[in-house]
Chain A
Amino acid sequence: MEISLTPETITTIAGFPITNTLLMTLVISAIIIIASLVLRKRLSLIPKGFQNIFEYVVEAFLNLIDGVTQDRKQTKKFFPLVMTIFLFVILSNWIELWPGLGTIGVNQIRGGRVALVPFIRSNSADLNVTLAIALISVFATQFMGIAAIGAVRYSKKFFVNPFHKPYFIGTFVGILELISEIAKIISFSFRLFGNIFAGEVLLIVMLNLVPYFVPLPFLFLELFVGFIQALVFAMLTLVFLKMATVEAGH
């Protein structure tokens, strides 16, 4: 049993490291893309089966976003990003529930000894993935803010003239806002990474200690954690988006 903070590299193609999380990302993307193509093909006015489930989720999210934005037009603008984050993150999180976690893989020689490189490792237990989504989320926030209220007015949130009321306090708060944007990236990525990585470690340890029955409650716990983390990621993105589109009040 070897627990690595970083995703393990399975092989390298032309200097590009193929890690197990990259593999999982591709698998999840393929699943989502195939599912959406199938959905597109079978879409009908009278919903059936999979379309029902998807529509239910979409409706639930639309209502949730409506609750935050109070504006249907804005909801439609935010919806794709929030929904995609949710879908991608929840599927990434639930990878760790698949059987074969930390057991199926290839043996590699690392640091002079043989180590198992598992194929299955949750996307979210890779900082590259969480950081990527966090960056997209935060940049989308800036973009939406500028698109909604204009670059000049949006920048007033961060750069406040120290010679007007409330003088240097305003300027200081502006700088804090700027820092908080960067902090958002870090908190987004590390929250998700931490939760899922810890869950994965917990599951691997449990499986190694007592292989039967005992890991079950932890599997359920991780199912729940995966859902909550995905929801948190999506909701925080949504809230930040909404906050960015509201002009800073003075």
Chain B
Amino acid sequence: MELLNNLGINGKLLLAQIINFVILLAVLYKFAYGPVLKMLNDRTKKIEKGLKDAEEAKKKLIEMEKKEKNVLHQARLEAKDIIEKAEAVSVKDAERIIAEAKDQSEKMLDQAKRQIEKEKEKILAEAKSEIANLVMVATEKIIGEKLDENKDRELINSVIK
């Protein structure tokens, strides 16, 4: 006991120090370690989740890019197809239209030709009859007398021909 006394060890103080330390431990456990450990845990989880999410997002993005590329490619192909088809159709149409126009114009030309022929014949016939009449009148005047009209006409006609 003398030794303990000399070293300053005092039962009351020792007990006070032990109680103090236990209180400190309890307070730190309740207010510092628990919450901080929980916080550290939460953060770790959150960061892990964030990293995972980021990874997933990246994967998704790559996938989307791939899809986009695919869609674009498809669209381009389709557009090309449509254009080609349209070209083909238009070429066909043009050919058809040209052919029709040619046909029509030929028809019209034909008709015109025929009409001209007809007109020509008609005019010729009219001219012939006119000439015959004129000749008749002239011969009548020259001869002074009238031949048999029918006979005369025959004669003239044969001459004209």
Footprint of B on A, CB under 8 Å?
A: 5-7, 16-17, 19, 22, 25-26, 29, 32-33, 35-37, 39-40, 43, 45, 51, 54-55, 58-59, 76, 79-81, 83-84, 87-88, 126-129, 131-133, 135-136
B32 partner residues in chain A, CB cutoff 8 A:
35-36, 39-40, 54
Contact, CB under 8 Å: B28 / A26: no
Pick the residue among B9, B10, B42 that contacts A45 (CB under 8 A): B42
Q: A126-B8, A127-B9, A135-B18 are in contact. List 6 more A-B contacts (CB 8 A).
A: A7-B8, A16-B12, A36-B27, A58-B40, A76-B37, A131-B9
On whether the beta carbons of A84 and B28 are closer than 8 Å, the reply is yes
Q: Does more than half of chain B's interface fall in helix, strand or loop, or is it mixed?
A: helix
Q: When the two chains form their complex, are residues A80 and B14 in contact, meaning their CB atoms are under 8 A apart?
A: no
Encoded as 1 (CB less than 8 Å from any A CB) or 0, chain B from 29 to 53 comes to 1011101110110110010000000
Contact between A33 and B27 (Cβ–Cβ < 8 Å)?
Answer: yes
Interface size classification for chain B: 20 to 34
- How many angstroms from the CA of A83 to the CA of B34 in the assembled complex? 12
Interface of A (DSSP majority class):
helix
A7 CA to B27 CA in the complex, in Å? Answer: 27
B25 and chain A: residue at smallest CB distance: A84
* Residues of chain A contacted by B25 (CB below 8 angstroms): 80-81, 84
Contact B28 A128 (CB under 8 A): no
CA distance A84 to B21 in the complex (A): 9
Complex formed: what's the CA distance from A149 to B21 in Å?
26
Contact A55 B36 (CB under 8 A): yes
Residue numbers of B with Cβ under 8 A of A are: 6-10, 12-14, 16-18, 20-25, 27-29, 31-33, 35-37, 39-40, 42-43, 46
A43 CA / B8 CA spacing, docked (Å): 41
Interface contact A22-B35, CB-CB below 8 Å: no
* A132 and B24 in contact, given A5-B8, A43-B35, A127-B7 (Cβ under 8 angstroms): no
> Which residues from A are CB-within-8-Å of B14?
128, 131-132
With A and B bound together, what is the CA distance between A135 and B11 in angstroms?
Answer: 13
Q: Are B33 and A25 in contact (CB under 8 A)?
A: no
Taken together as a complex, chains A and B put the C-alpha atoms of A26 and B19 apart, in Å, by 11
A80 touches B28 (CB 8 A): yes
Known: A5-B7, A126-B8. A17 touches B13 (CB 8 A): yes
Within the complex, the shortest CB–CB distance from B5 to chain A, in Å, comes to 9
Residue of A nearest to B14 (CB): A128
Known A-B contacts A16-B12, A17-B13; the reply to A54 vs B18 at CB < 8 A is: no
A79 touches B31 (CB 8 A): no
21 contacts between A and B (CB under 8 A): A5-B8, A6-B7, A16-B12, A22-B16, A26-B20, A33-B27, A36-B27, A36-B28, A36-B32, A40-B35, A43-B35, A43-B36, A54-B36, A55-B36, A58-B33, A81-B25, A83-B28, A127-B7, A127-B8, A128-B9, A132-B21
